[in-house]
Each structure stands twice: as C-alpha cells, then as structure tokens.
A = this chain, B = another copy of it.
Amino acid sequence: MNTVAIFGVGLIGGSFALALREAGFSGRIIGVSSPGTLARALELKVIDRGASPEQAAREADLVYLAQPILRILDTLAELNAWVRPDALITDAGSTKTAIVDRASAVLSRGQFLGGHPMAGRERRGVEAAEAGLFRGRPYVLTPRSPAELERPNARELQDWIKKIGAVPIVLGPEEHDRIVAYTSHLPQLAATALAALLEGRAEPNSGVFGPALVDSTRLALSSFDIWGDILATNRGAILEALRSYIAKLEEFSREFEPAPMRAQFDRASKFAARLREAPERTS
C-alpha cells in the first residue's frame, strides 16, 4: 500500500491519515475535500496533497471514504470509472447495509470492504483530528463473506487498523446496523427526545436543574446534518429499538412500585458498571 486517498478530510478521515502516519505509513496520503478543508489539512500536515476525486481515485491503492453516508453512496457510483482494479475501497460510515449494498451494485472494479470505526469527539472537522482517535476503540469491518477479509489488500488494511491501536471486529452489515441501533442510535434519540420535550416548557427556565440534566442532554447537541443520513439508512432497526425503549418505559409506568423498580435500577446499574469494567481494548 503506497498511496491512500482520503475522501472527506474531517474528524474521522483526518484522524485516520494522522494515525496511519504515526503508525509508520511512509506512502502518500491524498485528500479529497472542499478547497478550504484541503488548505487547512495541508497546513496541519494531515495530508500530503489535495486532488480531485478522479485524480485521487486513479492513484490510490486504498480509497478511504470518510464522508457523510449519503455522500458515500454517491461517491461509490462515481468511483467505478476511475479506481484501479487492484485497489481496496473502504468507508467509515456509521450505517453499513445501504453502503455495502450500493458498493455491490455499482462497483465492477476494485474490492470493497465496509468499515465503521466507533470513535468520535464532540468537536468535528479536520481541526479536531488526532492520531490517537481510534486507540482502544472497536473498528467494525462488514464483509458480505469471510473470503473478502482474506484478500491481500484487505489483510493489509486489517494490519493497519491494528497498528493504529483499534480493535477489528467482524460483523455482517445487517448485524452491525441492528446492534448500533441499540448502542448508538437509540441513546441519541433518547437524549434528543428528552431535550425536545423540555424545550419550550417552563421548567428549565426556572433554573431548577442539577448537573445530571446537563449530562443527559449532551448528545442532544448533535447535528442533524450527520444524524439525518443515519436515520435514513437504518430506519427499520432504529424503529425497532425505539419500540423496545418505549415498551421498557411503559413497564416502568405500570410497575412503579419499590420492588420492581429496585430490580430495574439493579439491572441498569449492573449494565452501566459492566460497560465501564470492559478491559481497555488494545490491539
């Protein structure tokens, strides 16, 4: 792997470039983004140079799509005309079924392997990029068949994922989407619903709230510019997770007595503690 093209040099794309470099990658890193972002990425030494999508795709051994999900779907369709037959195309989208299906449908050259690095920060953009972003974090790969992981370029990608400190996890695209509906998309909607409910009500204006409310609404600051694509491409799994959550809240309302509520609190704190006890992941 000599040349990597990063499409979308934001938090994730920029961090992947920095992480590769820190892990010893000595080839070229080309960025594809808006002119302003490319200028800033060059200044911050995140990429070696900027290029058009066509130029970048024609040169790259690895095409890394770190754009918003719907933009990735569009890029995939364009790439086929340009990409080298031995190139690996991967992505960092937060939902996988729509992307993997689109790749199968439109790519007749190159190999595709979907990915989802489960890392993030509150700040976005290339300015927030950092080499350590993926360290200790899960990096999901979503082949349609196990054989896709055995190809030389896919093996090389997995090696780099380990070298940047992330933990590769292999899942089918649908399985991935069903899991993140519960572990990522539902927590987002639960926080958004809470904040949307409170907005416009008199209560918070009184100033009568504690630090817990500030914490509980942190995710509600998330931008719909990112979440719109996620909701649009994981609709079925998210609606199912929402239904389960509503059912659990209805259970609370129905069984609002000390014994069953103690059991719920115990169950919840067991989960929260277990999540925190998870051994620090290292490659």
Contact = CB atoms under 8 A, between A and B. Distances in A.
Interface of A: 118-120, 137-138, 140, 167, 169, 171, 176, 178-180, 182-184, 186-201, 203-204, 206-224, 227-228, 231-232, 235, 238-239, 242-246, 248-250, 252-253, 256, 258, 261-262, 264-276, 278, 281
A163 B34 CA distance: 54
A253 B244 contact: no
- A interface majority secondary structure: helix
A195 B269 contact: yes
A220 B272 contact: yes
B275 A200 contact: no
A213 B187 contact: yes
A265 B271 CA distance: 27
Nearest to A180: B208
Nearest to A246: B249
B220 A269 contact: yes
Contact of A209 (B183, B192, B203, B238): B183
21 contacts: A119-B210, A167-B207, A183-B210, A184-B212, A189-B249, A189-B252, A190-B194, A192-B264, A194-B245, A194-B248, A196-B265, A196-B271, A198-B271, A199-B268, A212-B219, A220-B269, A220-B271, A222-B265, A222-B269, A224-B261, A228-B261
